[in-house]
Chains A and B, each alone.
Chain A
Amino acid sequence: MDNVIEIKDLSIQYATDEGIVKAVNHLNLQLARGETLGLVGETGAGKTTTALGIMGLIPDPPGVITGGEILFEGTDLLKLSKQRLRAIRGNKISMIFQDPMTSLNPVVTVGDQIAESIRIHEKLSRAEAALKAKDMLELVGIPGDRYGEYPHQFSGGMKQRVIIAIALSCNPEVILADEPTTALDVTIQAQVLDLISKLKKEKNTSMILITHDLGVVVEICDKVAIMYAGEIVEYGSLEQIYDQTAHPYTKGLFGSIPDIEAKTSRLKPIPGLMPDPSNLPEGCSFEPRCERSCQRCKEENPPLIEIGNGHFVKCHNYGKVGEGEDV
């Protein structure tokens, strides 16, 4: 299977007055064509920074990409000129944002906002682009005659559909969806997720879905990467992550979800907070919160090791202390 996106050893830092914030540390990630990868982690784990890094939109200053490569169809995006990058953005790689309320320009009609993206990348006349934009609106389930309306005339779910239409308007190879359903209520969430996965299948688009909702992941992802403090701690197929959970952090995440069937009176949250990214521990970044920490964890940052077919985990203690034990 060929990889559309391959991230190798990517590190991104923000230089602030308080110190250097290590947002992403030596991150490796592959995205195969047509595949959906769920990038899961709590707030501040570096998920959005990774996505912005792929788009080449890390705010600089203060953000600096300190190392690594982001290969898109074999070319390193970090080495491209601004013009070349602009031609890829929106055309080959596009992004769906978290908050539909603020991601549309309030003074431009929704149709024009879709047509704009088409006209930037394809040599079409105004009328042709408008026609195509209307088709896109219909595709995401909005009547085409609402082309000339402004964003404030749409509900949140409708706006998110418009944003999906913009993202898909140029038939991109990759969609980066940054928590596309977080700002929506649950029923609309389901509709939007269905829409995304349907359109994705039709067009054989690859997608990186950034989320902290494991329920969303299970619905549309093929692969899952769990991120913690700027690193990937566990990576594998959906089944591997959900059924053969290996990393204590991932186990902790599952332990924090209420289960309808199990009769537990209390959830089991992970104790403590994520480490300050400007002052990461020397060893494993999860060590201070880990139930299975040992001396080695404090001193040495564990590497990502393969424990099964395409299943990676970043832990010293995997397989040592009674495997399969419930955490």
Chain B
Amino acid sequence: MLKRNKKTKKGFWHDAWYRLRKNRSAMFALFILGLLVICAIFADYIAPYPYSLQDYNHTFEFPSRKHLLGTDNFGRDILSRIIHGSRISLLVGFSSITTAIIFGGLLGAVSGFYGGKVDNALMRAMDILMAIPGMLLAISLAAALKPGLTNLVIAIAIADIPGYARVVRAAVLTIKEQEYIEASQCIGASDGRIIFKHILPNCLAPIIVQATLGMAGAILSASALSFLGLGIQPPTPEWGSMLSSARQYIRSYWHMTAFPGLAIMITIFALNILGDGLRDALDPRLKN
């Protein structure tokens, strides 16, 4: 067999990765997120102190060599708490977005594929959900359920479902008009097979972009809910709840609010930059 030119062997994902690699800021964001994931996984080894160790001789300490980011009102090391907090943030961000994608994607795929009355009923239900501000919906859900990690994830996921349903529906509507979908009907494929094997893999690009951007929103919502006392409960370190408990000392001890805030900011920033980069990389119109 003839040796084919290497360049033509590239697939769509290969091309996308190549374009993403050329985008410096997106690669930097990816690097930061990589660091964050490592922090979350190896938190027990990286953090200099246990996150709940209280040292009453060293409360409200400013950043020093011993406590790089200072200590809080119980003398707990803020750096260690931020490192441990990344676990919660990433976990909440990832699992709520995954849940939202699964349910939103399924609803969107079904309503896009079948159209007609099913589509109308599902999308109007999504419109109702969308009419309620996302944060308000999450707050009321979190308040109605008991505060805690699982319920936090559920609350954020439900508020995010309509967005994914719409994105997936729009993608399905374009893909299902393609001739290869008709062709797969012609070989006798069932609706389920067509949706899962032929339509959804072709809608991955917009879903990935929405997920990256959505994860930033989910982490922010989680922090906000924890700040309001509806999310993660102390002593579990969570960036939002750290902010919340530090807010009464903000005038005298800036470091207690500044560092968790910075952690949130950097994470959101990195996710948004990466999301933008992915959108550019996965947009076929920019292919060249």
A-side residues, CB < 8 A to B, are 55, 57, 61, 86-91, 94-95, 97-99, 102-108, 116-117, 120-121, 143, 145-146, 150, 152-153, 163, 166
| B183 and A104 contacting across the interface, CB-CB below 8 Å | yes
| B1 and A103 contacting across the interface, CB-CB below 8 Å | no
Not counting A95-B186, A98-B179, A116-B189, a sample of 8 additional A-B residue pairs whose C-beta atoms are within 8 angstroms of each other reads: A57-B185, A90-B187, A94-B186, A95-B183, A97-B186, A106-B202, A107-B201, A145-B1
Chain B interface size band reads 20 to 34
B249 within 8 A of A: no
> With contacts A107-B12, A108-B198 known, is A102 near B180, CB below 8 A?
yes
In the complex, what residues of B have CB within 8 A of residue A94's CB? 186-187
Binary CB contact string for chain B from 2 to 34 against chain A (1 if under 8 A, 0 otherwise): 001000110110000000000000000000000
B180 to chain A, nearest CB (A): 5
In the complex, what residues of A have CB within 8 A of residue B189's CB? 86, 90, 116, 120
6 A-B interface contacts by CB (under 8 A)? A61-B116, A103-B183, A108-B201, A120-B189, A153-B8, A166-B183
A55→B184 CA distance, assembly (Å): 12
In the complex, what residues of B have CB within 8 A of residue A99's CB? 179
B235 within 8 A of A: no
A88→B186 CA distance, assembly (Å): 9
- Which residues of B in the span 151-200 have a Cβ within 8 Å of any Cβ on A? 178-180, 182-190, 193, 197-198
Counted as pairs of residues, one from A and one from B, with CB atoms less than 8 Å apart, the total is 75
Partner among A91, A97, A121 whose Cβ is within 8 Å of the Cβ of B183: A97
B79 to chain A, nearest CB (A): 44
In the complex, what residues of B have CB within 8 A of residue A86's CB? 188-190
| B182 and A97 contacting across the interface, CB-CB below 8 Å | yes
Closest residue to B181 on the A side, CB-wise? A105
| A102 and B178 contacting across the interface, CB-CB below 8 Å | yes
A108→B198 CA distance, assembly (Å): 8
| B11 and A166 contacting across the interface, CB-CB below 8 Å | no
| A108 and B182 contacting across the interface, CB-CB below 8 Å | no
A150→B190 CA distance, assembly (Å): 23
Most chain A CB within 10 A, of B182, B183, B188, is at B188
A57→B12 CA distance, assembly (Å): 30
Closest residue to B178 on the A side, CB-wise? A102
In the complex, what residues of B have CB within 8 A of residue A120's CB? 187-189, 193
Partner among A57, A105, A150, A152 whose Cβ is within 8 Å of the Cβ of B186: A57
| A153 and B187 contacting across the interface, CB-CB below 8 Å | no
> With contacts A102-B179, A103-B183, A107-B12 known, is A87 near B198, CB below 8 A?
no
Binary CB contact string for chain B from 95 to 127 against chain A (1 if under 8 A, 0 otherwise): 000000000000000000000100000000000
Partner among B12, B185, B188 whose Cβ is within 8 Å of the Cβ of A88: B188
> With contacts A108-B198, A145-B1 known, is A103 near B188, CB below 8 A?
no
A55→B185 CA distance, assembly (Å): 9
In the complex, what residues of B have CB within 8 A of residue A121's CB? 188
| B179 and A89 contacting across the interface, CB-CB below 8 Å | no
Closest residue to B175 on the A side, CB-wise? A105
| B186 and A90 contacting across the interface, CB-CB below 8 Å | yes
A322 to chain B, nearest CB (A): 47
> With contacts A57-B182, A143-B1, A153-B8 known, is A107 near B202, CB below 8 A?
yes
In the complex, what residues of A have CB within 8 A of residue B8's CB? 153
In the complex, what residues of A have CB within 8 A of residue B184's CB? 105, 116
A164 to chain B, nearest CB (A): 12
A152→B189 CA distance, assembly (Å): 23
Partner among B1, B116, B187, B202 whose Cβ is within 8 Å of the Cβ of A116: B187
Most chain A CB within 10 A, of B178, B184, B197, is at B184
Closest residue to A121 on the B side, CB-wise? B188
B216 to chain A, nearest CB (A): 27
In the complex, what residues of B have CB within 8 A of residue A106's CB? 12, 180, 202
In the complex, what residues of A have CB within 8 A of residue B190's CB? 86
In the A-B complex, the 9 residue pairs with the smallest Cβ-Cβ separation, listed nearest first, are A90-B187, A90-B188, A117-B187, A89-B188, A102-B179, A95-B186, A86-B188, A103-B183, A105-B180
| B12 and A97 contacting across the interface, CB-CB below 8 Å | no
A297→B180 CA distance, assembly (Å): 43
A116→B182 CA distance, assembly (Å): 15
| A87 and B202 contacting across the interface, CB-CB below 8 Å | no
B272 to chain A, nearest CB (A): 27
A150→B8 CA distance, assembly (Å): 11
A137→B165 CA distance, assembly (Å): 39
A55→B183 CA distance, assembly (Å): 11
| A87 and B188 contacting across the interface, CB-CB below 8 Å | yes
B184 to chain A, nearest CB (A): 7
| A103 and B179 contacting across the interface, CB-CB below 8 Å | yes
Closest residue to B202 on the A side, CB-wise? A107
A102→B179 CA distance, assembly (Å): 6
